[in-house]
């Protein structure tokens, strides 16, 4: 097993602790699928419970760090140079429907630079983790992005906007262009896991718009540490715009150009 740093051990321990009740709740959600009321209240509760655990564990281990969390928003701390970026349940709609593809995502940003990321899918017990300059791992295995160089052989992932959010016509146009040039496109419903899968070489690349920084941050560290590239789709800063594209260093330009319609 590769040796994780003290920082990563803090992040991993927090993710595992938050995941235990989440896994139990997921079992209940599967049972609730057939009920008339449905599991939505249960999912909101699971989300908030996980965020509370993550906030408490990370605060205890690193007092004073700032937070940005999907549910609580910005929580200012005394240490302005360090900021936790947390998504307690990325893939809520999958969770809601009893689909075992969701994750806890934790990143640390230090002086404006993403320095560490942990993404944990408790149902598959897949723990993706990375620290700047130290490589990326899945459990105890070192990760590298896929080595394909031809778009025709490559499999890509994407996200599409939720109802009432984003530009659906634009998103469908992007998918159509990528499908026409590649081995296929998948839409799995968890941005953090899409990026983790790029780092693991399962997907050759990924793009999506209208994301929160909690969706992107940990995955960006993973992809970069696995030898890949993460950019903003239109050339800006993805931490500002939420529009991200990731792939290996050979495919990134072709994927970006195809998505943009160039």
As annotated, the binding site for Mg(2+) includes: 70, 87, 89-90, 215
Pairing of strands 113-121, 103-110: antiparallel
CB 227 within 8 A of CB 248: yes
Structure tokens at 88: 């307690």
Angle, in degrees to the nearest 10, between helices 6-32 and 40-61: 170
Query: Binding site residues, as ranges?
Result: 70, 87, 89-90, 215
Distance CA 176, CA 243 (A): 18
H-helix or E-strand containing 104?
Answer: strand 103-110
Distance CA 18, CA 14 (A): 6
Pairing of strands 155-158, 205-208: parallel
Phi, psi dihedrals of residue 87, rounded to the nearest 5°: -120, 110
Positive or negative torsion for Cα 81, 5, 60, 215: positive
CB 146 within 8 A of CB 134: no
């Amino acid at each position: 097993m590769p040796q994780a740093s003290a920082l990563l051990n803090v992040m991993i321990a927090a993710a595992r602790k938050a995941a235990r009740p989440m896994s139990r709740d997921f079992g209940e959600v599967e049972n609730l699928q057939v009920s008339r009321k449905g599991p939505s209240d249960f999912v909101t509760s699971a989300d908030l419970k996980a965020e509370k655990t993550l906030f408490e564990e990370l605060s205890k281990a690193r007092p004073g760090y700032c937070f940005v969390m999907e549910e609580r928003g910005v929580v200012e701390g005394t240490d302005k140079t360090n900021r936790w970026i947390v998504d307690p349940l990325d893939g809520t709609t999958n969770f809601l429907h009893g689909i075992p593809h969701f994750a806890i995502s934790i990143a640390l940003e230090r002086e404006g630079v993403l320095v560490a990321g942990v993404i944990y899918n408790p149902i598959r017990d897949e723990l993706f983790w990375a620290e700047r300059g130290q490589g990326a791992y899945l459990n105890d295995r070192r990760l590298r992005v896929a080595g394909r160089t031809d778009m025709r052989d490559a499999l890509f992932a994407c996200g599409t906007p939720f109802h009432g959010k984003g530009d659906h016509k634009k998103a469908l146009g992007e998918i159509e262009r990528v499908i026409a040039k590649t081995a296929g496109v998948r839409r799995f419903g968890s941005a953090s896991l899409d990026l983790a899968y790029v780092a693991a070489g399962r997907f050759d690349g990924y793009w999506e718009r209208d994301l929160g920084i909690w969706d992107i941050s940990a995955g960006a560290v993973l992809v970069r540490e696995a030898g890949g590239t993460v950019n903003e789709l239109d050339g800006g800063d993805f931490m500002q715009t939420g529009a991200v594209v990731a792939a290996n260093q050979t495919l990134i330009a072709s994927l970006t150009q195809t998505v943009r319609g160039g």
